[in-house]
Chain A
């Protein structure tokens, strides 16, 4: 099913 990515890989820290 592929490798699980994370939200932080897409959205930058404020």
Chain B
């Protein structure tokens, strides 16, 4: 028996919007720790890892570990039927092939349930090693989204370089080149507007902008984004989900031939 009640139902809608461009089908894993997912895109270039901790739910019952295969577009179709202020409850019985999403309006005058068929999904679960990153950049998520969008109109790839001067995003395409440098800036009115660069040593890596743009679909989940870089490792782009957990994207770099 599984029953997860999330008062801030709109959060689940945002989580789906943040993943469905990248991943079609995925297994949602439910355990005492929380509601989680790990999935790669079809070309195995990017990986998304989601964790919504059990403490973040108003009610969390998960009698035994359960893995539920869902098509994210179908799940999104169902969640779109929930009002933005609705409370969403996810329910499933052991051994059944469906999941139920229950939507309650804030004043309890409308209750809907949508039952969705589950799928069998063969997915590889990867072990993500703990790593020391050479550079960690924290910046406003909207700023990062703007940079990725702007640069993708010029080129297909971005070189992200961190030096003590700041973080530089560079691209080149048929029409020309572009460089955007963000310097560390802690002297802002609000902490979420700061750009903070923790650098152990300079690092420079190349990534496909198409994937980074997909990651920025998570912008509504968090005011800030953390970008962790090390040479010879996938970049980690993390959006913290307040009081609940995170959505992390890993993107394999482009390597000189």
Pick the contact of A13 from B43, B127, B256 — CB < 8 Å?
B127
Known: A2-B206, A7-B46. A14 touches B157 (CB 8 A): no
Q: In whole angstroms, how far apart are the Cα atoms of A4 and B157 in the complex?
A: 10
Interface of B is mostly: loop
Interface 0/1 of B107-146, CB less than 8 Å to A: 0000000000000000011111100000000000000000
Residues of B in contact, count (CB < 8 Å): 25
Contact B254 A13 (CB under 8 A): no
Contact A4 B208 (CB under 8 A): yes
| B9 located at the interface, meaning its Cβ lies under 8 Å from any Cβ of chain A in the complex | no
Contact A2 B257 (CB under 8 A): yes
Q: In whole angstroms, how far apart are the Cα atoms of A7 and B255 in the complex?
A: 13
Q: In whole angstroms, how far apart are the Cα atoms of A14 and B40 in the complex?
A: 14
Q: In whole angstroms, how far apart are the Cα atoms of A1 and B171 in the complex?
A: 10
Interface 0/1 of A1-14, CB less than 8 Å to B: 11111111111111
Pick the contact of A6 from B45, B129, B206 — CB < 8 Å?
B45
Smallest CB–CB gap between A13 and chain B, Å? Answer: 6
Q: In whole angstroms, how far apart are the Cα atoms of A7 and B253 in the complex?
A: 9
Pick the contact of B43 from A1, A6, A11 — CB < 8 Å?
A6
Interface residue ranges, B against A (CB under 8 Å): 40, 43-47, 124-129, 156-157, 206, 208, 233-234, 250, 252-257
A-B pairs with lowest CB-CB distance, top 4 = A2-B254, A1-B157, A14-B125, A11-B126
Interface residue ranges, A against B (CB under 8 Å): 1-14
22 pairs of residues in contact across A and B, judged by CB atoms under 8 Å: A1-B157, A1-B254, A2-B257, A3-B255, A4-B208, A4-B254, A5-B45, A5-B255, A6-B44, A7-B44, A7-B47, A7-B234, A7-B250, A8-B40, A8-B44, A11-B126, A11-B127, A11-B234, A12-B126, A13-B124, A13-B125, A13-B127
